[in-house]
Amino acid sequence: MKKLILSIVALSCCLFAGAQDWKEVPLQTIDSGTETPSSWIDGKTPFVVSFWFVTCKYCLEEMDAISEQFADWQKEAPFRFIAVCNDDTRSLAKAKAMVRSRGWDGFRFSFDVNKELTRAMKVTSCPHVFLFDKNGKMVYTHQGYSPGDEEILFEKIKALR
Amino acid sequence: MKRLTLISALVLLPVLAAGQGKDWGSLSGGLESNSVLYRDWSFRSNNYVKLDYAKGRFSAGFQAEYYPTPLLGYSQDLKGFKLPGLYFAWTDAQWSVTAGSFFEQFGTGVLFRSWEDRNLGWNNALGGLRATFRTKNDLFSIKAFAASPRLAASWLNQPLLMTGGEASLNIGVFSLQASVLGNQTLTTEGRGPMQVSWSALAGVAVGGFSSRFEYVGRPGGNAQSLELHFAASSFSSALTVRRLKNMLDPLGMNYLPALCQEHSYMLASLNPYTTYEAGEFGGSLDLFYRIDGWKFHVNGSYIWSLPSALRDHTTLRMGYRDLNVQVEKRWNKRLKTIAYLSIQENSPSHGQRKATNAQNVFVLDGVYRFPGKLSLRAQVQYLYSEELTKDWMAGSLELSSTDGWAVHVQDMYNHGSTKEHYYEAGGSWTHSGFKVSLAYGHQRAGMVCSGGVCRWQPEYTGAILRLNYHF
């Protein structure tokens, strides 16, 4: 059995170039509606998808750093920032309160309450950012955060123009 | 050896595959490997490989797990090779049908939740059939399944029927949800008769205000929860109140997290509270405020055990209470600091006996960015207590670079009673979808929590290797 799995993995990796799979995973919006990741693709601007949770200190650091320069960066190279909270439902009210008070203006918020998108995108630790071009093709990904990582991310966004 | 081949196959082959032109669909995969070499030279390891294939509306995939010997603190029944997550799915903008393994949650999860948390070694996936439908305007959605819970089936060595359905309606600012669950019960002889549980949830969201209320009923037990959340531009607050009675599901198919705040600082999470499923009532309040580079967060929780869950059935008895204050300040482009205070008191017997443990935790935390690529994070912590192991102190340093590497050292010292050091030193490197970290340390025995659910971690000393890769 192990050998079979191994051969499937090996063979399939030969056949397919790596790509993220844009499933129609339902996510909760900040006003308790639903949306799917496919609605993020608008054919006009690239977008960043960033996974975070309430007690993830480095996630908050990274989102604060991006938020501080978000308005200036928009003038240089417009992009959208989608913060996907993968906390469980018990932290939902807290997460919603938090995003409003931290001053993350211009971000879009989505809530992956049973970690379906988290699993589909193979996110195992946070923060974890993905950069997609305007057509939804993944062009860059990064795990963890060290101050200054946001500038590298913005260089990648500028390269997409 | 096999694991090594598997890892190299996953790492090398996508590179060789570059330049494929034809639309063969898309493949994405992830690998996670956590291994510890203990001081007695025993080796234990938890490994997960997940592969998903999608072409148009069709998708299929699996999760393979391999535990030569599971890590200490995880169920030792996991030992060996497993292929738990095989599924086939058909999905379009409105419909989806899944056959095989899937996860699902109804409402807040108190009635029913099937999920995976690798930190806890928890995976109560369902195996069976599920169908979902939603209208194009998201006004109405419905889902239904018939399946067998994976965990219960492995205890029983035979499937156990579980069926459920949930309907949701979103009209303007109002949302309504109704869920029903039917499952075969477990008896000493094996499968028992069917039982039915249900829940209803109503929510409203207007401007900066939102609220939802949920009622859950199951044979012999019930739960009510209310969430309120309000936000203005620089101030926001959230309140959660919950009462539950006899909500422990013998199949482990529901989610009963502790209501109180989960702490990210090590001394503040030494003695976490866990939900008293027999009966508790409590609430947690959060206040957030931001002004001129300062950010304030105050959180407080109070949880009582219900009289019906106490041996003397008299009155509500305190199970846990805490008050946490966090002040965050960005001084300039280089320096940010956090001061944190946590005052906690818990009753290890959930109020059955008078004795409680109290502890006060103080934390100073800072991050400094040097010109160029490097940043330094530093923390000092102190725990003051007159009970259990008395006073603790702790500190940590981490140097990280935007090149992707980081090194850290930390120590936690119980100078109040056992005089024992719990230390760790290590480094990590991350690039694109790849992350590797190696550390050596002495870990304290205690509860490890994730999402308000905890598992017991025995004490150990050893070298820890973690690998993560996805494409």
Distance (Å, rounded) from C-alpha B241 to C-alpha B214? 11
Beta bridge partners of B279: B245
Could you give phi then psi for residue A93, rounded to 5 degrees?
A: -65, -40
Q: Which domain holds residue B351?
A: 260-277+318-471
In a domain, B388, yes or no: yes
In a domain, B395, yes or no: yes
- Is B234 in Cβ contact with A114 (below 8 Å)? no
In a domain, B264, yes or no: yes
Residue A2: what pLDDT? Answer: 53
Higher pLDDT, B190 or B431: B431
Query: If DSSP codes are grouped into helix, strand and coil, which group holds residue B17?
Result: coil
Share of chain B above pLDDT 70, in %: 95
Q: Report the mean per-residue pLDDT for chain B.
A: 91
CATH number at B426 reads 2.40.160
Higher pLDDT, B440 or A105: B440
Amino acid in the structure at residue B15: V
- What digits encode the pLDDT tens for the residues A4-20? 555 554 444 444 444 44
pLDDT at B121 > cutoff 50:
yes
Residue B26: what pLDDT? Answer: 87
- Is the CB of residue A15 less than 8 Å from the CB of residue A23? no
Residue B20: what pLDDT? Answer: 46
- Is the CB of residue B295 less than 8 Å from the CB of residue A98? no
In a domain, B106, yes or no: no
Interface test with A, best of B55, B111, B138 (most A CBs within 10 A): B138
The reported pTM is 0.90
In a domain, B354, yes or no: yes
Element (H, E) at B149: strand B140-149
Please report, for residues B162, B354, B451, the alpha-carbon distance to residue B196 in angstroms, rounded to integers and kept in the order given.
10, 38, 27
Distance (Å, rounded) from C-alpha B306 to C-alpha B281? 7
- Is B26 in Cβ contact with A103 (below 8 Å)? no
- What digits encode the pLDDT tens for the residues B95-110? 999 999 999 999 999 9
- What digits encode the pLDDT tens for the residues B49-64? 999 999 989 999 999 9
Element (H, E) at A57: helix A57-76
Residue A4: what pLDDT? Answer: 52
Q: Which residues of chain B make contact with A92, given a CB cutoff of 8 A?
A: 227
- Is A100 in Cβ contact with B27 (below 8 Å)? no
Distance (Å, rounded) from C-alpha B47 to C-alpha B222? 38
- What digits encode the pLDDT tens for the residues A24-36? 788 998 877 888 8
B52 by Cβ neighbours in 10 Å (0-12 / 13-18 / 19+) ranks as buried
In a domain, B110, yes or no: no
- Is A92 in Cβ contact with B28 (below 8 Å)? no
Residue A14: what pLDDT? Answer: 41
Distance (Å, rounded) from C-alpha B246 to C-alpha B274? 15
pLDDT at B10 > cutoff 50:
no
Q: How close does chain A come to B109, measured CA to CA in Å?
A: 7
Residue A12: what pLDDT? Answer: 47
Q: What is the mean pLDDT of residues A72-100?
A: 92
In a domain, B156, yes or no: no
Question: What's the structural domain count of chain B?
Answer: 1
pLDDT at B68 > cutoff 90:
yes
pLDDT band at A152 (very low <50, low <70, confident <90, very high): very high
Query: If DSSP codes are grouped into helix, strand and coil, which group holds residue A141?
Result: strand
In A65-78, which positions are buried (b, 16+ CB within 10 angstroms) versus exposed (e)? Answer: bbbeebeebeeeee
Q: What is the mean pLDDT of residues B407-434?
A: 95
Q: How close does chain B come to A78, measured CA to CA in Å?
A: 23
In a domain, B108, yes or no: no
Distance (Å, rounded) from C-alpha B113 to C-alpha B151? 13
